[in-house]
Structure 1
Amino acid sequence: MSSPPFHLLLVEDELADALLFQDMLSEQDQEITVHHVQNGQEALDYLCEPAPGPRPHLIVLDLNMPIMNGHEFLERVKSLPEVRSIPVLVLSTSEHSSDIHRAYEGQVSGYVVKPGNYQEYMHVLETIRAYWRGLVRLPSLEEVMQGRMGF
Structure 2
Amino acid sequence: MGDKMTNLLLVDDDEVDVMTVQRAFKKNNIQNPFYVANNGLEALAMLRGTDDSTKVPRERRLVLLDLNMPKMGGIEFLRELRADPELRAIPVIVLTTSNEDKDKVEAYNLNVAGYIVKPVTFAKFVEVVATLNQYWMLSEMP
1:112-138 superposed Cα distances (whole Å, 9 cap, x missing partner): 1100111111110000011112x2111
Query: How many correspondences in the alignment?
Result: 137
* Residue of structure 2 equivalent to 1:60: 64
Structure 1 residue 87 corresponds to structure 2 residue 87: no
* Residue of structure 1 equivalent to 2:128: 124
**Unpaired stretches in structure 2, ≥5 consecutive residues:** none
Instruction: After TM superposition, give the deviation of residue 30 of structure 1 in Å.
Output: 4.0
**Within 2, Cα distance between the matches of 1:31 and 1:4?**
11
Structure 1 residue 137 corresponds to structure 2 residue 140: yes
Work out whether residues 62 and 70 of structure 1, in 8 Å CA contact, stay in contact via their aligned partners in 2: yes
Work out whether residues 35 and 56 of structure 2, in 8 Å CA contact, stay in contact via their aligned partners in 1: no
Instruction: After TM superposition, give the deviation of residue 82 of structure 1 in Å.
Output: 0.6
**Within 2, Cα distance between the matches of 1:115 and 1:64?**
16
1:40-70 superposed Cα distances (whole Å, 9 cap, x missing partner): 0000111112583323520000000000000
* Residue of structure 1 equivalent to 2:108: 104
Highest Rg: 1 or 2? 1
Moved more, 30-39 or 57-66: 30-39
Work out whether residues 30 and 133 of structure 2, in 8 Å CA contact, stay in contact via their aligned partners in 1: no
**Within 1, Cα distance between the matches of 2:35 and 2:126?**
19
Work out whether residues 63 and 70 of structure 1, in 8 Å CA contact, stay in contact via their aligned partners in 2: yes
Higher relative contact order (CA 8 A, sep 6+): 2
Work out whether residues 26 and 32 of structure 1, in 8 Å CA contact, stay in contact via their aligned partners in 2: no
**Unpaired stretches in structure 1, ≥5 consecutive residues:** 140-151
**TM-score of the superposed pair, with normalisation by structure 2:** 0.89
**Within 2, Cα distance between the matches of 1:90 and 1:48?**
20
* Residue of structure 2 equivalent to 1:49: 49
**TM-score of the superposed pair, with normalisation by structure 1:** 0.84
Work out whether residues 91 and 114 of structure 1, in 8 Å CA contact, stay in contact via their aligned partners in 2: yes
1:50-107 superposed Cα distances (whole Å, 9 cap, x missing partner): 5833235200000000000000000001100111111000000111111100101112
* Residue of structure 2 equivalent to 1:20: 20
